[in-house]
Structure formats: C-alpha cells, structure tokens
Structure 1
Amino acid sequence: MICLRPYDASDEALRASILTLLSDAFGEEGTPYYELAMDHLYDADHTFLLSEEDASLVAVALVVDYVDPTDGRWAYLYSLTTREDHRGEGLMSRLYREVMEPRLVERGYRGACLVPATSSLVGFYKSWGFSLLRAADESMPITPGRRATDYLLTAYGQSCIDNPLPFRMIKPFGHTDDSYRLISPLD
C-alpha cells in the first residue's frame, strides 16, 4: 500500500532516499544542486512524499513559493518524480489532485506553475489542467537570481547558467485573464 509520508529534515535515511530518487530521475550530475535544494527549500509544509508500507520512498514533489507582485503567491512545482518501478500507476497525478492542489488552494495560493523535465510531459500536465504559458518556439533564456546563482556556483562552479524554458506551464486556481510574470523569492 502506498501512503503519504511526512518530511523530516533530521531523517538522514529519508534524505538519502530523496537524493537517490532525484539522481535516478534527473541525473547524478545534479546531485550537488539537489543537496543544496534540500538544505534550503525542502521542509514539512512544502515537501510531499509517497512511500510504501515498508517506508521505501516512491515519489517526491516540492513546492517552491513564487510571488507575483500584483497577484500574490504562486506554487512552483519542482522535482516531481516517481520511482521508475512505480511510474505509470497514476501516483503523482493522485498526489497532486487529491493532496497538493487542495492544500495549495487552502493555503491561499493563486495557482501553480511548473516546467516539465521533457517535452513528452506537456500532455501529462495538461491532463492536470495546466496550459502552456509560452509556446515552445518562444523560449527565452533566464538567469537565476542572487540566491539561485549562489547555489549554482557552489554546485557547478559557474557564476551563471542560462536555461531555456520552452515549456513553462501554469494553472490558475480561479478564472483569470491576467498575464503573469512570476518572480521567485530566490531572485
């Protein structure tokens, strides 16, 4: 049976499991960044975990607060991943729909945004109600802000990394015709 598991920053075995899951999903070369993110972004209110009864980690999802100066707080969904042997079972979809989104709405978030790891995930997130914020051919480079730059410098030894974001997706929790400019508290 798969169940929600609370995040505990002092649990070293859990930390190792999360790092392994992230490395398996997104590549071992990002491990220094994952460790920095865990030190600064993961906490009990923003980390969502699924485990098997034996406590082995199955899925992880992180919410990072983003602030729009005119429209309030948005949830950036980050590092959503499911262990390979459980992919395709609908676990992350259920976690998002049944747990994460209701909690985000309850906590007063205006909506959620994300960047799919691959273009093949665009349709998957569209099934959750997300839509593309920009078309793929309108990708634009971004430069991380001060704190994010510090993480990247520590992790990769580079002062700046431009990342094309061709598939930024957004889901307002209420009807709106507004255009959005999301600003990370890390900037």
Structure 2
Amino acid sequence: MTLPTLGTLRPLPAADHPDLLAPPVAAALAAWPHAGSLAVTPIDAELADTAAFGEAYGVPPEASANCVVVAGRRDGAERVAACVVRADTRADINNVVRRLLGVRKCSFLSMERAVAESGMEYGGITPLGLPQAWRVLVDERATAIETAVIGSGTRGSKLLLPGELLALLPGAETVTDLAR
C-alpha cells in the first residue's frame, strides 16, 4: 500500500498508530473499511492551527480540510452538525448550514462542549469518530482534494487521506456549496 504524502510530513499507516489518534478516532478507524488508505503524521502541537501548520510543513491551505461544529434549535430539539470544508474557504453557517439543519439560527458549539462531547482536542476535531447523533456535512470541494489533511482528534498529529474518502465517512452528507 502506498501512503498519501504531502509537503514535509512523515506519513505512517494510521491503522498501525492508534497512539497518535484521539480514542474515538482510533475506534472509528478500526471499524472503517477504508482505514488502510489513511496515513497519520506526528506534528508539533503548537503548529496545529491551519496557517502555522501549512507554513511549517509546506502544506497549502487548499490541501487541508477544517472541521467546525455548529448547533441550532428547532421545536425545542437541538441539531448538531460537523462541517468539513477546505481550509481556504469558510462554512456558510448562516445560510446553507442553517437551512440544512432546519433551524432559524445556527452558531458554533462552545469549545468546552465540542471537546467534551467529541472526546477530541480543540483544534484537532475531525469528522471521523464523532457522536452518531451529529450530522457530518462535507463540502463537495473538500472531496476533490487529491491528498487531504484533516485533524486526528489531537493537536499532535494529522490524518492524510484521498479527499474522495471524506464523502465515505460514516454518516457523511456531501453538500454542494457548503462553504464560500
């Protein structure tokens, strides 16, 4: 198997390195049939944020995908979604996401809640291994990334995978123009 590579990152088979992943990500990866196509690479946790990461490791923003978690309420029920968009775009929370969730107002989930409910570190939250009740909305442009870099659930590593696999994540819904 050939692992995806990018910039100066040192890819390792993700399935063989659960120690580099947050526990819910490692568990989801173990059950996902496409796990063999994913690589994990250790990084400096201080450089996990997109701009610093890209500069330090030679990864252009259009090769990274960010995951943001949002929520809204309708008829007393909360609706939560993780939105995966290319790092050089922003999720259209106030229009597209709000309509998809069927809510009047949508906002980012607080850092405390996102961390507590996902079991992942802030700045490393990824669409793999999220709570089943959360929707996973993937911008179509993210699925076109040849080798996509996403979080691993921790700030100390990143996952690399063919972008087309983002559409095959458990529960993923591919959305045209999720981001602007």
Normalising by structure 2, we get a TM-score of 0.30
Indicate the structure with greater helix content: 1
Normalising by structure 1, we get a TM-score of 0.29
State the structure with more CA Rg.
1
